[in-house]
Chains A and B, each alone.
Chain A
Amino acid sequence: MSTLAQKKGFGATLWDYLTTVDHKKIAILYLIAGGFFFLVGGLEAMVIRIQLAIPNNDFVSAGFYNEVLTMHGTTMIFLAAMPLVFAFMNAVMPLQIGARDVAFPFVNALGFWLFFFGGVFLNMSWFLGGAPDAGWTSYASLALESPTNGIDFYALGLQISGAGTLMGGINFLVTIINMRAPGMTYMRMPMFTWSTFVTSALILFAFPPLTVGLFLMIFDRMFGSNFFDASAGGNTIIWEHLFWIFGHPEVYILILPAFGIFSEIFAIFSRKRLFGYSSMVFATVLIGFLGFMVWAHHMFTTGLGPIANAIFAVATMAIGVPTGIKIFNWLFTMWGGSITFTTPMLYAIAFIPSFVMGGVTGIMVASAAADYQFHDTYFVVAHFHYVIVGGVVFAILAGTHLYWPKMFGTMLNEFLGKITFWLFLIGFHLTFFIQHFLGVWGMPRRIFTFLPDQGFETSNMVSTIGAFFMAVAVIVMLINVIMTSIKNERVGNDPWGDGRTLEWSIPSPPPFYNFKQLPLVRGLDAYWIEKMDGKKGMTPAEPLGDIHMPNSSFVPVVISFGLFVAAFGAVGIGDKEAYGIPVLVIGFLITFGSMFFRSVKDDHGFHIHKEDLMNDDDKGGKA
Chain B
Amino acid sequence: MHADEKMTYETWPAAPEKATLEAKNKFLGFWLFLGGETVLFASLFATYLALKDKVPNSEHYLAKDLFDLPLVFMATMLLLTSSLTSVYAMYHMKNFDFKKMQLWLGITVLLGAGFLGLEIYEFNHYVHEYHHTFTSSAFGSAFYTLTGFHGAHVAFGLAWIITLMVRNSGRGLDLYNAPKFYVASLYWHFIDVVWVFIFTVVYLMGMVG
Contact = CB atoms under 8 A, between A and B. Distances in A.
Interface of A: 103-104, 107, 166, 170-171, 173-174, 177-179, 204-205, 207-209, 211-213, 215-216, 219-220, 223-227, 229, 231-235, 238, 241-242, 245, 596, 599-600, 602, 604
A227 B141 contact: yes
Contacts of B140: 225-226
B138 A173 contact: no
Given A103-B25, A219-B141, A235 B54 contact: yes
A263 to B, nearest CB: 25
Given A103-B29, A170-B33, A232 B138 contact: yes
Q: Is the interface of B mostly helix, strand, loop or mixed?
A: helix
Contact-size category for B: 35 or more
A233 B37 contact: no
A537 to B, nearest CB: 25
A233 B28 contact: no
Given A216-B145, A600-B167, A173 B32 contact: yes
A604 B139 contact: no
Given A209-B43, A233-B137, A245-B43, 18 more contacts: A173-B29, A174-B32, A178-B21, A178-B24, A204-B35, A205-B36, A207-B36, A208-B43, A209-B39, A209-B40, A212-B47, A223-B134, A226-B135, A233-B139, A235-B54, A241-B46, A242-B47, A604-B3
A238 B33 contact: no
26 contacts: A103-B25, A103-B28, A170-B33, A177-B28, A178-B24, A178-B25, A179-B21, A204-B35, A205-B35, A205-B36, A205-B39, A212-B43, A216-B47, A220-B141, A226-B135, A226-B137, A226-B138, A227-B51, A227-B141, A232-B137, A232-B138, A233-B56, A235-B54, A238-B47, A238-B50, A604-B176
Contacts of B55: 232-233
**A-B CB proximity, top 6 nearest:** A233-B54, A233-B138, A225-B141, A208-B40, A212-B43, A234-B138
B141 A226 contact: yes
B160 to A, nearest CB: 8
Nearest to A603: B176
Contacts of B29: 103-104, 107, 170-171, 173-174
A237 to B, nearest CB: 8
A523 to B, nearest CB: 25
A211 B44 CA distance: 10
A593 B166 CA distance: 16
Contact of B39 (A171, A178, A208, A599): A208
A224 B40 contact: no
